[in-house]
Amino acid sequence: MAQDDPAPVAVIGAGPAGLMAAETLAAAGRPVVVFERMPTPARKLLIAGIGGLNLTHAGPLEAFLAHYGPARPALEAAIRAFPPEALRAWAASLGVETFVGSSGRVFPAALKATPLLRAWLRRLAGQGVILHPRTTWQGWDATGSLRLLGPQGAFTFRSAATVLALGGASWPRLGSDGTWPALLAGVPVAPWQPANCGFRVGWSPVFRHRFEGTPLKRIALSFAGRTVRGEAMVTAGGLEGGVVYALSASLRDAIAAAGPVVAHLDLRPDFDAATLSARLSGPRGGASLSSFLRKRAGLAPVAIGLVQEALHAGAPPDLVALVKALPLRLEAPASLARAISSAGGLMFPALDARFMLRARPGVFAAGEMLDWEAPTGGYLLQACLATGRTAAEGALAWLGRISPPGTESVIGSC
């Protein structure tokens, strides 16, 4: 363990993980300086607020943890130490009340990120946290000081410890462009991949022109034995939205392994096949296919358009089968720049149990820069905040401010 050092602790990155690390450090009496390459902090959090800001999920913790898949062993201790109920209590301490939606997702009562972020930044300022925007981390110099580039030019900064919260590679215009692995030579980093992303579909020009930007509501998408109900959105290049994001990891990996895949879309999941068959069994008469499907099956125009797309592509003319399991050929995931989050990043075997880099004692990592992924639904922000808190506590322990754990567990490959 390092001797106690009065120098500030540096936090690189002012997203949720970095700000939580800064708060945890400052609350323990440590001077903290945060460096952020963008002009303002937490830009991705603010964008998430446009959709209501899904903070976490109120389901049972065991089910919650299962959403982290192979990364669960590496993240579990951090999330158990700062579980969803603790996140809600933390938000309440900032004056932000939360509620649980019908799906179990947790949102701020105002359905906005701005009030929470403003209150959070006020708290950090009151704790003495100093924020330097427009300042980019460029690695270390020969003495171990941080190399930084700010508005006034290049400079160095000596820190007692450092928490890296550099983000992933999705939505680079918001600040996290995924280029930081070049600054960690020799540290194992898994390649970036889009997560919670849409997929390319070869729509016909007619369908694309008519239905681009149209939502698909009350549907279900199935792939590899999993079925997810919800909504999606037709885009010029394909399909995105909740049901697609929930299956995006398995879809992405299957495409990487063997090329385009076929998922199946249930356009009326509230009808079983027998009920739908009874509705569609009568004669069509002079009605067009569009009118028939609208009146008998209650399909929206975009759903009818999908059935027509499948028929034009050569699908058998079994309307019940097409409505209940419309084949959808997904060609490739959308780009990282359009993905909600990213998979890949700093691999867990490079870290100890409190996310300290084994190759660089006193340097900790947190948030999306770690090699994990999770679906939307509150799991992303929960893990970012929890790992930020754990990394900061690791820095405090390393500096001797709190008692270290009796034994240091080793996180294996995830």
Q: What is the pLDDT of residue 281?
A: 87
Helix, strand, coil in percent for the chain, rounding step 5:
40, 25, 40
CA distance 52 to 47: 9
The token pair at 291 is 């009118």
Work out the mean pLDDT of the chain and round it to a whole number.
93
Q: What is the pLDDT of residue 2?
A: 53
Q: What is the pLDDT of residue 401?
A: 54
- Start-to-end Cα distance in the chain: 27
Q: What is the pLDDT of residue 4?
A: 62
Q: What is the pLDDT of residue 282?
A: 78
Q: Give tens-digit pLDDT for 9-46.
A: 999 999 999 999 999 999 999 999 999 999 999 999 99
Burial 342-357 (b: 16+ CB within 10 A, else e): bbbbbbbebbbbbbbb
Single-letter residue type at 247: L
The token pair at 60 is 């049972």
pLDDT at 406 exceeding the cut of 70: no
The token pair at 333 is 């995931």
- Higher pLDDT, residue 102 or 198: 198
CA distance 393 to 78: 10
pLDDT at 97 exceeding the cut of 70: yes
β pairing state of 105-108 and 56-57 = antiparallel
CB contact set of 145 (below 8 Å; sequence gap of 6+): 156, 157, 158, 159
Q: Give tens-digit pLDDT for 377-386.
A: 999 999 999 9
What are the domain boundaries of the chain?
A: 9-193+342-399, 199-333
Q: What is the pLDDT of residue 284?
A: 78
pLDDT at 414 exceeding the cut of 70: no
Domain 9-193+342-399 has CATH 3.40.30.10: no
Q: Give tens-digit pLDDT for 294-349.
A: 999 999 999 999 999 999 999 888 999 999 999 999 999 999 998 999 999 999 99
Q: How far, in Å, are 218, 264, 379 from residue 231 at the CA level?
A: 6, 14, 19
Residue 1: how many other CB atoms lie within 10 Å:
9
pLDDT band at residue 409 using 50, 70 and 90 as cut-offs: very low
SS (H, E, C) 220-266: EEEECCEEEEEEEEECCCEEECHHHHHCHHHHHHHHHHHCCEEEEEE
Burial 116-151 (b: 16+ CB within 10 A, else e): bbeebbebbeebebebbeebebeeeeeeeebebeee
Q: Are residues 74 and 47 in contact, defined by beta-carbon separation less than 8 angstroms?
A: no
CA distance 266 to 297: 12
Q: Give tens-digit pLDDT for 158-197.
A: 999 999 999 999 999 998 999 999 999 999 999 999 999 9
Q: Are residues 335 and 352 in contact, defined by beta-carbon separation less than 8 angstroms?
A: no
User: Could you say which DSSP state residue 268 is in?
Assistant: -
Name the CATH superfamily, with its identifier, for domain 199-333: Translation factors (2.40.30.10)
Instruction: Give the residue carrying structure tokens 């500030």.
Output: 8
Q: What is the pLDDT of residue 412?
A: 35
CB contact set of 243 (below 8 Å; sequence gap of 6+): 219, 220, 221, 228, 229, 230, 231, 232
Q: Give tens-digit pLDDT for 111-122.
A: 999 999 999 999
Q: H-helix or E-strand containing 398?
A: helix 379-399
CA distance 384 to 115: 19
Q: Are residues 397 and 404 in contact, defined by beta-carbon separation less than 8 angstroms?
A: yes
pLDDT at 100 exceeding the cut of 90: yes
Q: What is the pLDDT of residue 3?
A: 52
